[in-house]
Amino acid sequence: MKPFPIPVLALGPGAHSQEESLDYLPMPKDMDTYRPPALPLPEEVASRVAVRGVLRQVLALLAQAARGQGGGQVCLRGLQAADLQLINQLLGEGETSALVRSPEAAAELRVQESVFAGVWRLMRWEQGVSVDDAIEVGAVPAQLYAVAREDAQRPYRAWEGPLPPQVQNAPALVEEIRDRAAHWRPGEPAHVVNLTLLPVSPEDIAYLDHQLGTGRVLLLSRGYGSCRISNTTLPHCWRVVYYNSADTVLLNSVEVVDMPEVALAAPEDLYDAHQRLLDVARYLELA
């Protein structure tokens, strides 16, 4: 699975000194786009009963999700290594990955989207050993919602004593975000606090992140640059930071929403993925 090359600390406008000359951001150089997986010959898959069965189940779930009827999981436990290798080849690696770690870091859930949007590979590891393996079809894996909800149950601790030096505007922002998070309900539009456009210092950002807390969910979406998404310990509250291809921060924000839209496979993405996987199935003589 692809690594997470994005630094954890995201600095706002207060980290930049004022210069008289114009200083343009570096232009993006790369963009991840859909690349079809390297397909084997149909006769190479003809005798692989387990692989054919998995692909048929994924195709059926993807058709269901494209109609807005939800998705589901296909268990891969018990498959032979050669079958898993072929499934990896057929699905490929897409632009979004995620990592969920336990507080003790003894267990983790690794998530990788395939080249077919909305088709996710989920692998659970404990003490460095794989204990579960599945494919999930849907806008985003349900486990990410569940972990974010668990993290939001941690008790909130208000800041005690004088504020750290250079912290000025962050306390008001924290109270605004806490109020929005407490009253946000599913179906409402996202409440976005754009830190890039606000007069906040690096110390303000550090204070805000400390007060919001850091959850266990970390997503990285690559496309035109990268987007790093992490949950906080407030309900429905996420940190969303966009970078260009040179890893320069373009947008630093807090979103109060069930799941940031950038992490979701859109309905049209699910439809396109179903059509693409259907083409693969027809080539392999599965449909």
Q: Report pLDDT digits (tens) over 76-91.
A: 999 999 999 999 999 9
Token pair for 174? 């924290």
Q: How many whole angstroms separate alpha carbon 178 and alpha carbon 174?
A: 6
Tell me the backbone φ, ψ of residue 241, rounded to 5 degrees. -130, 125
Q: Which of 229, 145, 230, 140 is nearest to 186 (CA)?
A: 145
Q: How many whole angstroms separate alpha carbon 124 and alpha carbon 110?
A: 6
> Dihedral angle at the C-alpha atoms of 27, 30, 33, 35, nearest 10 degrees?
170
Predicted pLDDT at 157: 83
Q: How confident is the model at residue 222 (pLDDT cuts 50, 70, 90)?
A: confident
Q: How confident is the model at residue 185 (pLDDT cuts 50, 70, 90)?
A: very high
- Do 94 and 115 form a contact (C-beta atoms < 8 A)? yes
What residues does 219 pair with on adjacent strands?
98, 229
Residue 151 vs residues 100, 111, 251: alpha-carbon distances, Å: 11, 18, 25
If residue 96 lies in a helix (H) or strand (E), which one and from where to where? strand 96-101
- Do 176 and 191 form a contact (C-beta atoms < 8 A)? no
Using DSSP's 3-state secondary structure scheme, residue 49 falls into helix
- Do 263 and 96 form a contact (C-beta atoms < 8 A)? yes
Helical pair 49-66 and 81-91, crossing angle rounded to 10 deg: 40
- Which of 31-45, 68-82, 104-118, 150-164 is the most confident on average? 68-82
Residue-wise pLDDT tens digits, 14-73: 444 444 444 444 444 455 555 667 888 899 899 999 999 999 999 999 999 999 998 999
One-letter identity of residue 111: V
- Do 145 and 259 form a contact (C-beta atoms < 8 A)? yes
Q: How many whole angstroms separate alpha carbon 143 and alpha carbon 109?
A: 9
Sorted by where each starts, the structural domains of the chain and their CATH numbers stand as: 33-139+265-287 (3.30.1370.140), 140-264 (3.30.1370.140)
Predicted pLDDT at 104: 67
Predicted pLDDT at 245: 80
Token pair for 134? 């599945």
Maximum separation of any 2 CA atoms in the chain, in Å: 71
Q: Which of 111, 147, 101, 92 is nearest to 221 (CA)?
A: 111
